[in-house]
Amino acid sequence: MTRGLRTWPRAVIAAILGMFLLFGGAGAAMAQPADNGVEGKTFVIGTDTTFAPFEFRKDGELTGIDMDLVRAIAEDQGFNVEIRSLGFNAALQALTSNQVDGVIAGMSITDERKAVYDFSEPYFESGIQMAVAKDDDDIKGYEDLAGKTVVAKTGSEGETYAKSIAEEYGFSVKALDQSATMYESVKAGSAVAVFDDYPVLAYGVAQNNGLKTVSDKVPGGSYGFAVNKGKNTALLAAFNDGLATLKADGGYDKILDSYLADPTAAVPTTFVDLLAKSFPALMSGLKNTLLVTAISFAVAMALGLLAGFMKLSRNIVVRGISTTFVNIFRGTPLLLWAFMFYFGLPQLTGWDVSIWVAGVLTLSLNSAAYVAEIVRGAIQSVDPGQLEASRSLGLGYGKSMQKVVVPQAFKMMTPSLINQLIIMLKDSSLLLAIGFGELLYQGQQIYAANFRVTETLVIVGFIYFIAIMALTKLANYADRRFNK
Amino acid sequence: MSASPVETQKPAKISVKGLRKSFGTNEVLKGIDAEVAEGEVVCVIGPSGSGKSTLLRCLNKLEEISAGHVIVDGFDVTDPKVDINEVRRHVGMVFQHFNLFPHMSVVENIMLAPVELKKASKAEARQQALKLLERVGLKEKADARPAALSGGQKQRVAIARALAMNPGIMLFDEATSALDPEMVGEVLQVIRDLADEGMTMVLVTHEMGFAKEIGDRVIFMDAGVVCESGPPAELFGNPQQERTKEFLSKVL
């Protein structure tokens, strides 16, 4: 299957790639020398978050065909792997920027991708199948689709195939991003059928995702393991050797059978069961959400105060710097900066940017722009007579601001700052796009494996709601306590 | 202080020479010359917009001075080498709208400058602040917040605050204009006491009766210039200028 670059248009990927080539020297330092072996080394492998049965989380652990395969090959070849569950597009970005050494993510080998990455021998032959809602007795084949809408994954072979027969059978194709959301839209009735990779469909059906398959498989693409073009050749060779060994000794078939022939039906059956099973993962997500928000807010406050005061400066250069900062971060989406810091920055500088650093930079710089405006507005709203009275006593400008103006401004800005904190806590969910393990990300991981999308989202939403209500109460209490 | 006192022939406490002040293209002060001797009480009167508040605010450089010189205690405040903060410590100022610090208690308002400028320890500053409050009759309000005070009480606290650095000069900018009529008396009494103690004072005021009573000299300003100046009995009793007569006929 050809899963497209879902979040970023190809042109952007090409631009990033161009930047990489330009600054390529920095990244090269991280790569393995060409003719070294792999024995005893540790490689970072990027993968998707939500592509059962190839990769998904079961009881918090990453599992699936890809995971078992790459671990078995690593064991056979004597190297170690560190798996990073980033999301499909994010994993490819990370590969381009050398944040990871290789990617295994149910990725089809295509000519387009071969121009950018080096692929292993195919490790899985896929194909397309059509599925409908379990209780749907009307759609039995393509000929029943006339006048209806079907869904397929953006840029996938499922989409390509569905479009190729759409005119012949008179239906229209709508593209969505995730398997789980495609299945939901079929169950909800906004589409009558889904075209998806057969192993993914088969696994979902076995997990009671509420669908059934109604057509024969159409042969599709082959999946391969990828490394950056010209990099990690030893790793690629080792993958091929290990794959050959596994295929020869039957280990390969055993892995596939365990997911495809008899999928483990460990899906929670009741809401309480779902809640109990997902609770530990969601709590660890909540912990990350709260922690990244707390750190980012502290940084945002420091930067925002600084930028807010700079905006009030009489010096046009100082004021200009602050205004530029505020305009840039208010005028661009948060998500763009998440990608920029996590994928762009390492390519431009060669630095190793951890996901926490990228996450904190993203949230704090965005928020600091708003805090700066809140600070400036609050200081300007303090009666000018206050500063005059303090200055007339012989106190300097700095002392007067510190003792007289800022304390009053702070009292005025507190409600806006509490608001900003709550916005930041919610915005932190956007960091799931770079694979940061926050609350909503953990929720996605759970429903990607069990297909209980609505219930999982209800639980996640409830946790956010409780956390934010508690935070609001706490902040308002602090406001009353300290800002009398 | 970085500059040495300017040599002057008369021992004037405040000396204003050719003072001009513009806001943009609007010239508010058009060349003011005036002097205030030590211990003298000068009242500045005149119609709205005549520039009297601006003149007062130039004396401690709350307004940037466009041209001319203002010499306070021997220091030319228009000289960039003069530390204006040091000059201001010797010049207390009282504002029309009190400008008390609402986030501090009454006593903290008064203690702020002595403590922050390291003139006194907190305990000393509090002792001194309580004495000042006693002087303005508000000792029992020491720990109240300004919001809990009446207008007259606020202004008396503001006067106590202006006195905290033990200034040699006091400036009053329409100190009773924002007060309800029944509160004017209590504030005027405090000012009267200060005058009796020999404080050098400049008052911008609309209280003609008070100016007549308390002023050693009255300056009448109109349209950015000093129109007429003299002892209150003369200025009020026998004004020389048409403008002065016209103004006094309206307000008396």
The band of A261, judged by pLDDT with boundaries at 50, 70 and 90, is: low
Residue A6: pLDDT band (50, 70, 90) is: very low
| Token duo for residue A483 | 């800002």
Assigned token pair, B48: 């709205």
B102 and A399: CB-CB below 8 Å? no
Gyration radius of chain A's alpha carbons = 26
Q: What is the DSSP letter of A108?
A: B
Structural tokens at position A97: 């920027």
| Burial readout A54-91 (b: 16 or more C-beta within 10 A, e: otherwise) | bbbbbeeebbbbbbbbbbbbbebbebebebbbbbbbbb
| Helices (runs of H) and strands (runs of E) counted in chain B | 9, 10
Nearest CA to B91 among B219, B214, B200?
B200
A410 CB within 8 Å of a chain B CB: no
- Note the helical H segments in chain B: 52-59, 84-88, 106-116, 122-135, 151-163, 181-196, 208-214, 232-237, 242-251
Gap between the Cα atoms of B115 and B112, Å rounded: 5
Q: pLDDT band at A118, cuts 50/70/90?
A: very high
Confidence of residue A83 (pLDDT cuts 50, 70, 90): very high
| A249 has a pLDDT exceeding 70 | yes
- Give residue limits of the domains in chain B: 12-249
d(CA B37, CA B35): 6
The reply to whether residue B99 touches residue A383, judged by beta carbons under 8 angstroms, is yes
- Cβ atoms within 10 Å of A16's Cβ, excluding its own: 20
Nearest CA in chain A to B165: A393
Q: Which of residues 17-76 of B touch A (CB under 8 A)?
A: 60, 62
Q: Which tens digit of pLDDT belongs to each residue from A139-181?
A: 888 889 989 999 998 777 888 889 889 999 999 998 887 777 8
User: Is there a contact between B101 and A389 if contact means CB atoms under 8 Å apart?
Assistant: yes
Tell me the residue length of chain B: 252
Rounded to whole angstroms, the Cα distance separating A178 from A51 reads: 8
E strand or H helix that includes residue A470: helix A453-482
The pLDDT tens digits of the residues spanning B173-222 come to 999 888 888 889 899 999 999 999 999 999 999 889 889 989 999 999 99
Number of A–B residue contacts, CB under 8 Å? 60
Interface contact A394, partner B, CB < 8 A:
yes
Q: Which of A387, A392, A404 to mutate to test the interface with B (most CBs of B within 10 A)?
A: A392
How large is the ipTM? 0.91
Identify the residue among B63, B97, B99, B177 best suited for mutation to test binding to A, counting A beta carbons within 10 A and taking the highest: B99
What confidence score (pLDDT) does residue B8 get?
44
Which CATH entry fits the domain spanning B12-249: 3.30.460.80, 2.30.250.10, 3.30.43.10, 3.40.50.300?
3.40.50.300
The answer to whether residues A213 and A159 touch, using CB atoms and an 8 Å cutoff, is no
Tokens of A474: 């706490």
| Cross-chain CB nearest to A389 (options B95, B116, B165) | B95
CB B161 within 8 A of CB B110: yes
Q: Decide if pLDDT at A21 tops 50.
A: no
Q: Is residue A14's pLDDT more than 70?
A: no
* Cα A308 from Cα A301, distance rounded (Å): 10
Q: Which residues contact A367 (CB under 8 A, 6 or more apart)?
A: A296, A297, A300, A304, A420, A423, A424
Give me the residue from A383, A393, A411 closest to B112, CB to CB. A393
DSSP string, A49-75: SSBTTTBEEETTEEESHHHHHHHHHHH
Angle subtended at Cα A49 by Cα A44 and Cα A55, rounded to the nearest 5 degrees: 80
As a whole number of Å, the end-to-end CA separation of chain B is 45
Give residue A12's pLDDT. 53
> Contact at 8 Å (CB) between A139 and A193?
yes
Report CA torsion sign: B238, B243, B245, B250.
Answer: negative
Domains of chain A, first to last: 42-123+224-260 (3.40.190.10), 126-221 (3.40.190.10), 271-482 (1.10.3720.10)
Q: What is the mean pLDDT of residues B167-178?
A: 92
What chain B residue is nearest to A386 in terms of C-alpha separation?
B99
Q: Does position B19 have pLDDT exceeding 90, yes or no?
A: yes
Identity of the residue in B62, B100, B117 whose CB atom sits nearest the CB atom of A395: B117
Q: Which residues of B touch A387 (CB under 8 A)?
A: none
Query: What tens digit of pLDDT does each residue of A409-450 get?
Result: 988 898 899 999 999 999 999 999 888 889 999 898 888 777
